[in-house]
């Protein structure tokens, strides 16, 4: 028996506006309402709504044999509630099918775990509250921002009551087919680790619409045959949900691919589809997962260098967390909320100066005119935050 | 008169200075024909403006979007940057590429040719050209007409770049040697010209630039209780302006106290490396980069500032000092700037002496009365430093070389 697991990441940051030097001490709105609203509307219509509809139908058609997991960041949920509540409703409908698991993450999609375990916990609890309010659920599986993972993370979330965690299946740690097994997180009593099969995931997430790819065009049956040929009991497909309709447009055939997927997979009796929590219940760990440093699913390095790779990123992140205790001591709810929105990892991703292939990825996601612009804008905002602190 | 640019089609201070000089002279009754490489706006009334592009093509130029011209970046663009710019413009299918030659030197030659044509048709008593791009044009006009040539030095190649372009230096040297009078924007510049090109002092004279004060008395800043003090650098973020010394000064001051904000307003080739340097110092929340600001924004930023620093490594004149002071903001300026000759009561230090810069800046921040007095004291000097006085001075030099 082979178990396939699908988890989709839904995230939209509060993108910063071009915060002007003269705004400091005059204007405390840091985020581009108009742009954020427009992006939520666009992505909702191109991806979230049609993809949710397809997945709902697939669950119905297969009587729940097709199952998926979502991790929806708190800031994404918040923006969807404000700008496009129909998407929330369609996720609620999916939640009611019983075939969908929702994962927990840090509300602000931050890397708080690296800088402040206390803040990390508060952000996770806020996410749990939101999931409970919207979907009436209590997740037992955790996924950290960008799959950033280290033993320390697993230990922290075990204390918070989580049973399983997701991570990247890095070759140099577990070997080429290592993601096919379930692991126990090193340093924990019994946290189970599901590892992403990055090749099969990226076939869909990145290569699907690349006409230069030798396997182009990718049809569901071809991809399913690769799944069947993959060694190990597990095949974990972890991808950004925006893959459907946003990163690959509808015209690429990505929705047809999704529609045929359950059919071609489940036609083999030896394949089942389960969600992460179900896998953690069903399987016993076959090894221990112990990366020597922080890993993630980003870039070719699979480390934190996409967010902390240069001085600008480190300065911005360090200066931000340096303010934490004073921010919290202020008890100014608006100030605390603004500060937390700045912890979102995307702001630091925009400051990356990596080149070559990865740089293209960065540029695609970048709403500013480059890394230096992102950094100087962020620091102007931070300076205003500090000025507000000094007044309170 | 031969100029490289003229408002509103300008990329920097040279065009503004050229306009000021021409206006000052016109006020003294001098009739001016000004040749510039190209011009598309309504010409000003106080002079006759001729476009070299029209002279050479004998065609009326088509309507051209001015915004398309601005990417040229600077009147002092380097030949390498010029060629890169030209290639990009050509590749993008921009019509403007067709107006420019493939190299900056080609442009300079073209301008000289146009000058020769104009000189053969128009009668005049004196030729007055501005900086190296126009020196060849000045010489060709002199050759045709035989009238005296005045070369106006706003800056020299050694001041603009640590890597002097030998071809530019050569043109500069030749132009200055062939001029009957070399007008410098400061004594500092005069000494530099003497030092670098060996031009004898008796062939040189100083005419300080002017500034238009838009109010009769200094602006009195409203006393505002502040928890934080702000020091400003503004202008192009390039080697010549010494922005790194501003940052070194900031570093020193921040070691002593933290309720300070440093702002660099402007952009330039040093901006990106300096942003990274500040990040490396982990001072990004204290030393802010504002990016390029328009005039209104810059004024507002000046009014928020307690002091501004002019840290130029070599500044022939230093208009920014006048601009800042005219907004009522006290300053500390580098000794390596022409402007320090006029602004004798303004605290000045060698550009590398960041200790002194920090000390003076603290004094001005801690004692607002000191700053207020500084502005009161300097105001009559600013009033005198006008384009009309500049015009009077230049006219007297004209009369001298014309022998009347």
Distance between CA atoms of residues A276 and A244, nearest Å? 21
Coil, strand or helix at A187: coil
Question: For the range A155-160, what are the long-range contacts, defined as Cβ-Cβ under 8 Å and sequence gap of 24 or more?
Answer: A155/A185, A155/A187, A155/A188, A156/A113, A156/A117, A156/A120, A156/A121, A157/A124, A157/A191, A158/A185, A158/A188, A158/A189, A158/A190, A158/A191, A160/A121, A160/A124
pLDDT confidence of A44, banded at 50, 70, 90?
very high
What is the model's pTM? 0.88
Distance between CA atoms of residues B117 and B52, nearest Å? 9
Instruction: Identify the DSSP state of A241.
Output: G
- Burial of B224 per CB tally in 10 Å (0-12, 13-18, 19+): exposed
- Token representation of residue B121: 């048709």
Say if A391 is an interface residue toward chain B (CB within 8 Å): yes
Distance between CA atoms of residues B129 and B151, nearest Å? 5
Distance between CA atoms of residues A349 and A304, nearest Å? 10
Strand order in the sheet with B287-291: B287-291, B260-265, B229-234, B307-310, B331-334, B348-349
pLDDT at B13: 76
Domain A2-289: which CATH number of 3.10.28.10, 3.10.350.10, 3.20.110.20, 3.20.20.70: 3.20.110.20
Residues 241-270 in B contacting A (C-alpha not used; CB under 8 Å): 259, 261, 263, 265
Least CA distance to B300: which residue of chain A?
A22
Distance between CA atoms of residues A66 and A59, nearest Å? 5
Say if A316 is an interface residue toward chain B (CB within 8 Å): yes
Domain layout of chain A by residue ranges = 2-289, 305-391
Distance between CA atoms of residues B208 and B100, nearest Å? 32
- Across the interface, of B227, B284, B301, the residue whose CB is closest to A316 is B284
Cβ atoms of A226 and A215 closer than 8 Å: no
Q: Do A383 and B285 touch (CB under 8 A)?
A: yes
Q: Do A372 and B301 touch (CB under 8 A)?
A: no
Q: Do A314 and B285 touch (CB under 8 A)?
A: no
CB atoms within 10 A of CB A84: 20
pLDDT at B159: 86
pLDDT at B328: 92
- Across the interface, of A311, A386, A390, the residue whose CB is closest to B280 is A311
Q: Pick from A372, A374, A382, A388 the residue to mutate for testing the B interface (most B CBs within 10 Å).
A: A372
Q: How many Å lie between the alpha carbon of B311 and the closest alpha carbon of chain A?
A: 21
- Across the interface, of B288, B301, B304, the residue whose CB is closest to A380 is B288
Distance between CA atoms of residues A89 and B287, nearest Å? 46
Would you say how long chain A is, in residues? 392
pLDDT at B92: 64
- Give the model confidence (pLDDT) of A309-347 as tens digits: 999 999 999 999 999 999 999 999 999 999 999 999 999
- A146 counts as catalytic: yes
- Across the interface, of A22, A315, A383, the residue whose CB is closest to B300 is A22
Q: Do B284 and A379 touch (CB under 8 A)?
A: yes
Residues of B in contact with A376 (CB under 8 A): 275, 284, 288-289, 291
Is cis: bond before A217, omega within 30 of 0? yes
- Give the model confidence (pLDDT) of B249-291 as tens digits: 999 999 999 999 999 999 888 999 999 999 999 999 999 999 9
- Across the interface, of B259, B265, B285, the residue whose CB is closest to A379 is B285
The whole-number mean pLDDT for each consecutive block of 10 residues of chain B, a chain of 404 residues, reads 85 83 94 89 88 74 41 60 71 55 80 92 94 95 96 92 86 96 96 96 95 75 75 92 97 96 92 95 97 90 96 92 92 95 95 98 95 92 92 96 85
Least CA distance to A320: which residue of chain B?
B285
Least CA distance to A323: which residue of chain B?
B285
Q: Evaluate whether ipTM surpasses 0.95.
A: no
Residues of A in contact with B271 (CB under 8 A): 372
**Angle separating helix axes B319-326 and B368-384, nearest 10 degrees:** 120
pLDDT at A86 > cutoff 50:
yes
Cβ atoms of B90 and B149 closer than 8 Å: no
Say if A390 is an interface residue toward chain B (CB within 8 Å): yes
Question: For the range B54-63, what are the long-range contacts, defined as Cβ-Cβ under 8 Å and sequence gap of 24 or more?
Answer: B55/B114, B55/B117, B55/B118, B56/B110, B56/B113, B56/B114, B56/B117, B62/B95
Residues facing B300 on adjacent strands: none
Q: How many Å lie between the alpha carbon of B308 and the closest alpha carbon of chain A?
A: 16
pLDDT at A359 > cutoff 60:
no
- Give the model confidence (pLDDT) of B44-76 as tens digits: 889 999 988 888 876 444 444 433 443 344 566
Mean pLDDT of the residues in chain A: 94
- Token representation of residue B125: 């008593």
Least CA distance to B289: which residue of chain A?
A376
Strand A182-185 to strand B149-153: parallel, antiparallel, or no bridges (unpaired)? unpaired
Task: Give residues with Cβ within 8 angstroms of B203, minimum separation 6.
Answer: B179, B180, B181, B182
- Burial of A354 per CB tally in 10 Å (0-12, 13-18, 19+): middle
Q: On the CB side of B185, how many CA atoms lie within 13 Å of its CA?
A: 26
Least CA distance to A392: which residue of chain B?
B227
Instruction: Identify the DSSP state of A352.
Output: -
Residues 90-149 in A contacting B (C-alpha not used; CB under 8 Å): none
- Token representation of residue B27: 């006020």
**Phi/psi at A202 (nearest 5 deg)?**
-75, -20
pLDDT at A363 > cutoff 60:
no
Say if A310 is an interface residue toward chain B (CB within 8 Å): yes
Strand A182-185 to strand A192-196: parallel, antiparallel, or no bridges (unpaired)? antiparallel
pLDDT at B220: 67
Cβ atoms of B337 and B310 closer than 8 Å: yes
Cβ atoms of A164 and A192 closer than 8 Å: yes
pLDDT at B74: 54
pLDDT at B64: 41
**Phi/psi at B246 (nearest 5 deg)?**
-65, -45
- Give the model confidence (pLDDT) of B360-394 as tens digits: 999 999 999 999 999 999 999 999 999 999 999 99
Cβ atoms of A184 and A287 closer than 8 Å: yes
Residues of A in contact with B297 (CB under 8 A): 20-22
Least CA distance to A389: which residue of chain B?
B227
User: If you count DSSP H runs as helices and E runs as strands, how many of each does chain B have, helices first?
Assistant: 16, 12
Residues of A in contact with B263 (CB under 8 A): 21
pLDDT at B71: 38
Residues of A in contact with B275 (CB under 8 A): 312, 372, 375-376
Chain A / chain B CB contacts < 8 angstroms: 72
- Across the interface, of A314, A376, A391, the residue whose CB is closest to B289 is A376
pLDDT at A355: 61
Per annotation, catalytic residue among A146, A242, A272, A278: A146
- Give the model confidence (pLDDT) of A217-226 as tens digits: 999 999 999 9
User: If you count DSSP H runs as helices and E runs as strands, how many of each does chain A have, helices first?
Assistant: 19, 10
Least CA distance to A319: which residue of chain B?
B285
Q: Do B288 and A376 touch (CB under 8 A)?
A: yes
- Give the model confidence (pLDDT) of A249-272 as tens digits: 999 999 999 999 999 999 999 999
Residues of B in contact with A315 (CB under 8 A): 278-280, 282-285
Secondary structure element (H or E) that encloses residue B261, with its range: strand B260-265
Distance between CA atoms of residues A75 and A130, nearest Å? 10
């Amino acid at each position: 028996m082979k178990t396939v697991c699908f988890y989709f990441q839904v995230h939209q940051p509060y993108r910063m506006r071009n915060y002007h030097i003269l705004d400091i001490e005059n204007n405390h709105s840091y985020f581009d309402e108009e742009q954020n609203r427009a992006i939520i509307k666009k992505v909702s219509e191109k991806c979230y709504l049609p993809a949710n509809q397809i997945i709902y139908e697939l669950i119905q058609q297969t009587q729940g044999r097709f199952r998926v997991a979502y991790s929806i960041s708190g800031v994404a949920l918040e923006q969807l509630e404000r700008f496009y509540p129909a998407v929330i409703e369609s996720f609620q409908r999916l939640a009611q099918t019983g075939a969908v698991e929702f994962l927990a993450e840090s509300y602000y999609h931050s890397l708080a775990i690296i800088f402040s375990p206390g803040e990390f916990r508060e952000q996770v609890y806020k996410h749990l509250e939101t999931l409970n309010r919207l979907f009436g659920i209590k997740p037992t599986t955790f996924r950290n921002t960008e799959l950033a993972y280290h033993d320390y993370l697993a230990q922290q979330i075990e204390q918070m009551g989580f049973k399983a965690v997701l991570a990247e299946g890095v070759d140099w740690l577990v070997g080429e087919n290592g993601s096919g097994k379930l692991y126990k997180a090193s340093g924990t009593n019994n946290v189970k680790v599901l590892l992403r099969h990055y090749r099969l995931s990226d076939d869909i997430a990145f290569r699907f619409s690349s006409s230069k790819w030798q396997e182009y065009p990718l049809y569901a049956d071809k991809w399913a045959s690769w799944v069947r040929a993959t060694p190990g009991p597990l095949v974990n497909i972890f991808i950004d949900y925006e893959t459907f309709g946003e990163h690959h447009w509808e015209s690429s055939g990505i929705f047809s691919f999704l529609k045929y997927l359950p059919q071609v997979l489940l036609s083999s009796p030896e394949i089942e589809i389960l969600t992460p929590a179900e896998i953690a219940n069903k399987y016993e760990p076959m090894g221990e997962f112990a990366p020597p440093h922080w890993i993630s699913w980003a870039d070719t390095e699979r480390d934190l260098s996409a967010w902390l790779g240069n001085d600008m990123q480190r300065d911005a992140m360090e200066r931000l967390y340096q303010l934490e205790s004073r921010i919290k001591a202020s008890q100014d709810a608006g100030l605390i909320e603004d500060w937390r929105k700045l912890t979102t990892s995307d702001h630091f991703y925009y400051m990356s100066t990596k080149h070559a292939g990865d740089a293209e990825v960065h540029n695609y996601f970048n709403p500013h005119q480059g890394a230096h612009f992102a950094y100087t804008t962020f620091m102007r905002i931070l300076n205003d935050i500090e000025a507000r602190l000094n007044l309170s | 008169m031969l100029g490289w640019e003229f408002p509103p089609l300008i990329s920097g201070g040279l065009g503004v200075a050229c306009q000021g000089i021409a206006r000052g002279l016109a006020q003294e009754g001098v009739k001016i024909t000004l040749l510039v490489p190209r011009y598309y706006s309504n010409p000003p009334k106080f002079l006759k403006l001729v476009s070299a592009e029209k002279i050479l093509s004998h065609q009326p130029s088509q309507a051209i979007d001015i915004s398309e011209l601005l990417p040229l970046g600077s009147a002092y663009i380097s030949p390498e940057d010029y060629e890169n710019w030209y290639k990009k413009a050509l590749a993008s299918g921009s019509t403007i590429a067709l107006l420019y030659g493939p190299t900056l030197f080609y442009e300079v030659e073209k301008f000289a040719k146009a000058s020769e044509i104009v000189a053969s048709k128009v009668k005049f008593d004196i030729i007055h050209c501005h900086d190296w791009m126009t020196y060849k044009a000045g010489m060709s006009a002199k050759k045709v007409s035989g009238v005296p040539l005045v070369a106006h030095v706003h800056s020299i190649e050694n001041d603009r770049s640590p890597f002097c372009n030998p071809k530019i230096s050569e043109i500069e040297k030749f132009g200055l040697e062939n001029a009957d009078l070399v007008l410098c924007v400061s004594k500092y510049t005069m000494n530099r010209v003497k030092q670098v090109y060996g031009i004898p002092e008796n062939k040189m004279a100083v005419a300080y630039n002017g500034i238009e004060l838009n109010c009769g008395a200094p602006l009195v800043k409203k006393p505002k209780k502040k928890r934080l003090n702000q020091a400003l650098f503004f202008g192009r973020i390039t080697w010549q302006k010494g922005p790194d010394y501003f940052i070194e000064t900031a570093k020193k001051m921040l070691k002593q106290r933290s309720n300070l904000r440093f702002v660099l307003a402007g952009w330039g080739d040093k901006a990106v490396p300096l942003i990274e340097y500040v990040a490396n110092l982990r001072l990004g929340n204290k030393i802010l980069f504002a990016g390029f600001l328009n005039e209104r924004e810059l004024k507002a930023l000046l009014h928020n500032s307690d002091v501004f620093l002019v840290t130029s490594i070599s500044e022939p004149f230093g208009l920014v000092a006048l601009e800042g002071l005219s907004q009522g903001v006290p300053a500390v300026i580098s000794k390596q700037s022409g402007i320090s000759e006029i602004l004798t009561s303004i605290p000045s230090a060698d550009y590398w002496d960041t200790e002194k810069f920090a000390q003076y800046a603290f004094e001005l921040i801690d004692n607002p009365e000191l700053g207020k007095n500084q502005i009161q004291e300097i105001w009559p000097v600013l009033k005198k430093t006008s384009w009309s006085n500049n015009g009077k001075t230049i006219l007297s030099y004209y009369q001298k070389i014309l022998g009347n």
